[in-house]
Chains A and B, each alone.
Chain A
Amino acid sequence: MVEMKDKGVLFTAGLALLAYAVLSFASMAVSYRQEMNDVTYQEALAERLFSDSESAEADLKDLLTNMSGIGVSVSGSQVTFKEQLPNGNADTFKEGLTNYVRFKHTQSKNLALNVDELKNTLTLSISPSDVNYTHNTYGGREIRINPSTSVSKYLVAAQTNATIDRCEVNNPSVGSSMVLDVRVDGNSSSCYRILDVNTTETVSVSVNSGSIGVSTLPGGRLLVSNNLQNPINVSATVYLIDATEDIISVNIADGIVRASFPEYGLVKTRGVRLN
């Protein structure tokens, strides 16, 4: 009698243990599955963030290429910017940006576009040399190039329909830290100057008593200005030291595109590469 009771207890206890083991295993499987679902969901969100920001980058690049009136090309260690001064496309481009931001906002609430700097100064940066091509005001009468590392030469070519009757160099300081090559073509006349300049001083080439000015400023900065009534076409080439075409990129400032899902701690920021 006692033996049979023991057997029954053992049998029941064994089944109970088996049930407990199965239940524990199932609980683990459910927990693992839930974890996997969370990871999969976050991966899908990350994929969406990446795609949203990537398409915004492509759209902004298309907008800038098609509407800003600024051309950018890279060849060897040289980066060339072409633009009309004042830029007649500025207002159209700014309006295009405003409309694009509005459009993008209707499509993705998780995307923020900070285009203020683009509208105000339209600053383009050259990496890895960290040289900026910018404006006092985009659509204004000045173009500036601010280098933080050495630039060996600036070549500034400009075309105007005005007649050039004066071509002067102010403060032709002796120096050899940089070359300033200025070529202004006017109506049946021109102003060409190649200068070895000292980057600690201001050196200017002035056309028609300052109507068109090309200057290097302390720090190796370049300033191009047009005070003529009509716009001029400007091509500014920067010769970089220790840079080659395969590593040079021209970008709109990083952080212009910001996609995020804050509740999951996912954030993706990016700039816009133009070349």
Chain B
Amino acid sequence: MDGRGLVFTLDALVAASLVFLVLAYVNGMVGENNVGDWSGTRMLESGYDTADVLYNTGALQAMNVSWMERIVNSTTPPNTAMSMRILSYTNSSGQMMQSNTMNIGPPVPDSQAVAYGKRTFLTFKDGGVEYYNVAEFWVWSK
């Protein structure tokens, strides 16, 4: 009778160990694939929308930092933060040379997932292009 109990217990322990091993493996597999989600795309869309508003209101072309900050603060969803950098280039004998940089918003965190996008726009002076600009943006969850 004692021998039977021992076999039964050992059998149960082995089976339970197998189940736990399977569960641990499953947990690992699911965890590994849990990197991309919808919120990243939504943050990206939010960033593009804000960049569009900045362009369509003329704030980008005016390069007015306080105007741009007001728009960024009013269009960014409350649970997200956005930062922007504008790089301005001029044409010099067929080469694009970077001439100015402008930063808007808080520093980009390096310890969490951040959505990144950009759009270009032009500014004009005296009937020609003054700057070829790139507005880069980063959006992340607060």
Distance (whole angstroms) from the CB of B46 to the closest CB of chain A: 11
Cβ-neighbour of A15 out of B18, B29, B128 (below 8 A): B18
Contacts of A43 in B (CB 8 A): 41
Distance (whole angstroms) from the CB of A45 to the closest CB of chain B: 10
Q: Which of B113-134 contact A (CB under 8 A)?
A: 117-122, 124, 127-129, 132, 134
Counting contact residues on chain B (CB < 8 A from A), the size range is 35 or more
Cβ-neighbour of B134 out of A22, A47, A107 (below 8 A): A107
A34-B33, A43-B41, A103-B96 as given contacts; A22 in contact with B16, CB under 8 Å: no
Distance (whole angstroms) from the CB of A87 to the closest CB of chain B: 13
The CA-CA distance from A33 to B117 in the complex, in Å, is 24
Which of the candidate stretches B6-14, B66-74, B104-112 sits at the interface with the other chain?
B6-14
Contacts of A106 in B (CB 8 A): 96
Asked if residues A19 and B127 are in contact (CB atoms below 8 Å), the reply is: no
Contacts of B132 in A (CB 8 A): 99-100, 103
Nearest residue in A to B120 (C-beta to C-beta)?
A55
B102 on the A face (CB < 8 A): no
Cβ-neighbour of A18 out of B19, B26, B117 (below 8 A): B19
Cβ-neighbour of B44 out of A18, A44, A107 (below 8 A): A44
Counting contact residues on chain A (CB < 8 A from B), the size range is 35 or more
The CA-CA distance from A16 to B35 in the complex, in Å, is 31
Distance (whole angstroms) from the CB of B4 to the closest CB of chain A: 5
Distance (whole angstroms) from the CB of B70 to the closest CB of chain A: 22
Asked if residues A107 and B120 are in contact (CB atoms below 8 Å), the reply is: yes
Q: Which of A191-224 contact B (CB under 8 A)?
A: none
Contacts of B36 in A (CB 8 A): 36-37, 40-41
Q: Which of A55-114 contact B (CB under 8 A)?
A: 55-56, 58-59, 62-63, 66-67, 89, 92, 96, 99-100, 102-104, 106-107
Asked if residues B120 and A30 are in contact (CB atoms below 8 Å), the reply is: no
Which of the candidate stretches A4-12, A167-175, A178-186 sits at the interface with the other chain?
A4-12
Contacts of A48 in B (CB 8 A): 117
Q: Which of B1-31 contact A (CB under 8 A)?
A: 4, 7-8, 11-12, 15-16, 18-19, 22-23, 26, 29-30
Cβ-neighbour of A47 out of B37, B44, B124, B128 (below 8 A): B44
Contacts of B8 in A (CB 8 A): 4, 7-8
A267 on the B face (CB < 8 A): no
Asked if residues A96 and B129 are in contact (CB atoms below 8 Å), the reply is: yes
A29-B30, A107-B120 as given contacts; A15 in contact with B89, CB under 8 Å: no
Cβ-neighbour of A30 out of B4, B22, B33, B94 (below 8 A): B33
Asked if residues A89 and B127 are in contact (CB atoms below 8 Å), the reply is: yes
A51 on the B face (CB < 8 A): yes
Contacts of B26 in A (CB 8 A): 22-23, 26
The CA-CA distance from A103 to B133 in the complex, in Å, is 9
Cβ-neighbour of A33 out of B22, B33, B118 (below 8 A): B33
The CA-CA distance from A104 to B33 in the complex, in Å, is 35
Asked if residues B15 and A40 are in contact (CB atoms below 8 Å), the reply is: no
Asked if residues A100 and B129 are in contact (CB atoms below 8 Å), the reply is: yes
The CA-CA distance from A16 to B29 in the complex, in Å, is 20
- Supply 9 A–B pairs (Cβ within 8 Å), ascending by A: A7-B8, A8-B7, A12-B15, A16-B15, A26-B30, A34-B33, A55-B119, A62-B121, A107-B118
Q: Which 7 A-B pairs have the closest CB atoms?
A: A26-B26, A15-B15, A55-B119, A37-B36, A103-B132, A33-B33, A99-B91
Besides A15-B19, A51-B48, A107-B120, 16 new A-B residue pairs in contact (Cβ under 8 A), listed by A number: A4-B8, A8-B8, A15-B18, A16-B15, A16-B18, A19-B22, A22-B26, A30-B30, A40-B41, A43-B41, A44-B40, A44-B41, A67-B129, A103-B91, A106-B96, A107-B118
Q: Which residues of B are at the interface with A, using a C-beta cutoff of 8 A?
A: 4, 7-8, 11-12, 15-16, 18-19, 22-23, 26, 29-30, 33-38, 40-41, 44-45, 48, 51-52, 55, 89, 91, 94, 96, 117-122, 124, 127-129, 132, 134
